[in-house]
Amino acid sequence: MGDRKLAIEQGRTVLGIEFGSTRIKASLLDDHYEPIASGDHGWENRLENGIWTYHMDDIIDGLQDCYKNLKKDVSNQYGVTLKRVGAIGISAMMHGYLPLDAEGNPLTEFRTWRNTITGEAAEKLTAAFDFNIPQRWSIAHLYQAILNGESHLPNLSHLTTLAGYIHYRLTGRHVMGVGEASGMFPIDSEKMTYDQKMVDIFNHLIENCGFSWQLLDILPEVLVAGEKAGILTADGAKLLDPEGDLEVGIPFAPPEGDAGTGMVATNSVCVRTGNVSAGTSDFAMVVVDKKLGVHRELDMVTTPAGAPVAMVHCNNCTSDINAWVNLLCEFSGLAGGETDPGKIFPMLFNKAMEGDKDCGGLLSFNYYSGEGVTDLDAGKPLFIREPDATFNLANFMRTHIMSALATLKVGLDILTKEENIRIDKMYGHGGFFKTPVVGQSILAAAVDAPISVMKTAGEGGPYGMALLAAYTIWREDEETLESYLSDKVFCNAESSTLSPDAGDVAGFNAFVDRYKVALSVEREAIRC
């Protein structure tokens, strides 16, 4: 405790802040890479006029409340006021659309990754680039706005993401970590910047639109992990800590997306390693060593160091599980039983392990919103069953847990079975893995590969962002991110590994076969 207090007082710490779908979380690490304090703030996206968004006031208020709670945690634990840290890093949900004018003011509402309103643009850009451009990518949002003739475009000065926007507000710099940038526009992993051939193609597509800008005029500068990305300004310090205790001049790591911080948090940045982040959304990242074909279900992004990564991103994961568990909590309370979700979740997850391997004829679609992997522009949560299905609690819960991973499996099967990508190590992290064994074993069945969960997996994205901040200031010259994480951060990391059970694998395959056939039911529900 004394060592940690001294580290805080001397600024031998690093801070990562991540804007997740339902929580903004801050993680403070000491110089042994141990989490020593945290803060968070709960929030929710809004569906307004058909757009999934977060209000600007919610973004700033949430940032300040999260940091205030971190300060409070530091004060309560160590009896000191947090005044300085060694470095800071900002992370957030990837992709989306946040256009700014010359003064840095937003020109539209923030359009999040969850929106599936850019189908025309994504299809046209994919054909023009011969490179998959998903609907949630920033360039798809920009081109859709152009196709729609939106009035704000002549005033566009900067295009950024949520992480890039917060970084700009704190440092005054329009920059982006290469991993986050790769979810805005395709990256050339040799030159570590935007792919020039595709930049030229895009500029040609818009040359008759009459804009005063071209693409590189508005995109943020690309930085790789370890590069200095600015310092905390006086305005930034006042924004982050309105109480005025935080010192100016703190260096910043390049802002990154939640996919990149997940890779770092699980030491999954080396070739043929991968990780699955599972919470409100879920995605799998696998570092590859060869060029892949163009698949609508696969994104090509990068690690924070710029290595190519195949990504399967699914908009929907645990929201439907949460809704059903809340319903069961309500019933339990009505019957005079337990109502704490923190206790009921593990009970129900463990009950799922007693269910039939293929869920006994039950099926669900967890689609709260559209889903690019299965080509759906909207979502309707559905639970369906055969008349002769084995309808019991174990199968019911197993169905919803497997449904949360089913779309992910559809994409991963393309990567492993069609592209023959080998995965040596796969790590799991996020709220889906809070209950020991359950989520891990079902993911192992979906991937048909061993799944490891680190002791620090629950720390998630802000922990990974803090490690990138540490790499920015504490790495040795020429030390790669891969070696820094393996040799210094995770050299003694505790983890548990589960290999897939053959029966579970066969059951999941049977479940997904039914799932694919029944997608027509989901499509019809949306149509109606």
What pLDDT does 459 receive? 67
Q: How far is CA 380 from the centre of its chain?
A: 22
Q: Which of 57-66, 100-109, 226-235, 292-301 has the lowest mean pLDDT?
A: 292-301
In whole angstroms, what is the distance from residue 465 CA to residue 462 CA? 5
Q: What H or E segment, with its residue span, contains residue 507?
A: helix 502-517
| Per-residue confidence (pLDDT) for residue 457, from 0 to 100 | 61
Residue 490 tokens read as 């995770």
Three-state SS at 40: strand
Confidence class of residue 277 from pLDDT cuts 50, 70 and 90?
confident
Is 461's pLDDT higher than 80? yes
Q: Residue 151, SS3?
A: coil
Range list of H helices, 361-459:
393-413, 438-447
Q: How buried is 391 (Cβ within 10 angstroms: 0-12 exposed, 13-18 middle, 19+ buried)?
A: middle
> Is residue 460 very low, low, confident or very high in pLDDT (cuts 50, 70, 90)?
confident
Q: Is 360 left (phi over 0), alpha (psi -120 to 50) or beta?
A: left
- Across residues 494-504, what is the average pLDDT? 93
Q: pTM of the entire structure?
A: 0.85
pLDDT for 458 equals 62
373-420 pLDDT per residue, tens: 998 989 999 999 999 999 999 999 999 999 999 999 999 999 999 999
Q: Kindly state which CATH superfamily the domain 267-455+494-528 is placed in.
A: ATPase, nucleotide binding domain (3.30.420.40)
- What stretches of 79-174 show up as alpha helix (H) in DSSP? 119-129, 138-148, 162-171
Burial class of residue 127 in the structure, from the number of CB atoms within 10 Å of its CB (0-12 exposed, 13-18 middle, 19+ buried): exposed
Q: Residue 482 and residue 1: Cα distance in Å, rounded?
A: 30
Q: What is the mean pLDDT of the chain?
A: 95
- Taking 90 as the threshold, does the pLDDT of residue 493 lie above it? no
Q: What is the mean pLDDT of residues 454-469?
A: 85
Residues in Cβ contact with 329 at an 8 Å cutoff, skipping those fewer than 6 apart: 338, 339, 340, 341, 344
> What is the predicted pLDDT for the residue at 495?
86
Answer yes or no: is pLDDT of 132 > 70: yes
Each residue of 4-31: pLDDT tens digit? 999 999 999 999 999 998 899 999 999 9
CATH, domain 1-94+161-184+219-254+473-484, list 2.60.120.200, 1.10.150.120, 3.90.550.10, 3.30.420.40: 3.30.420.40
Angle, in degrees to the nearest 10, between helices 393-413 and 502-517: 80
Tens of pLDDT, residues 232-250: 999 999 999 999 999 999 9
Residue 148 pLDDT level (bands cut at 50, 70, 90): very high
| pLDDT bracket for residue 482 (50, 70, 90) | very high
**What is the per-residue pLDDT for 190?**
92
pLDDT tens digits, residue range 299-339? Answer: 999 999 999 999 998 989 999 999 999 999 999 999 999 99
Q: What Rg do the C-alpha atoms of the chain give, in angstroms?
A: 22
Q: How much is the pLDDT for 424?
A: 84
- pLDDT level of residue 186 (50, 70, 90 thresholds): very high
Torsion over CA: 445, 450, 456, 462 (sign): negative
321 CB burial (10 A radius; 0-12, 13-18, 19+):
buried
pLDDT band (50, 70, 90) for residue 114: confident
pLDDT mean over 352-363? 97
Question: Mean pLDDT across the stretch 487-506?
Answer: 92
Q: Which two tokens stand for residue 419?
A: 């592209």
- pLDDT mean over 34-50: 95
pLDDT of 77 above 90: yes
How far apart, in whole angstroms, are the C-alpha atoms of residue 506 and residue 357?
A: 8
> Sign (positive/negative) of CA torsion 42, 47, 51, 57?
negative
Q: Compute the average pLDDT of residues 100-128.
A: 95
Nearest partner of 89 among 31, 17, 26, 36, judged by Cα: 17
Which percentage of the chain shows pLDDT scores above 70?
99
The boundaries of every CATH 3.30.420.40 domain in the chain are: 1-94+161-184+219-254+473-484, 267-455+494-528
Per-residue pLDDT of 207-218, as tens digits, reads 999 999 999 999
Mean local confidence (pLDDT), 242-271: 95
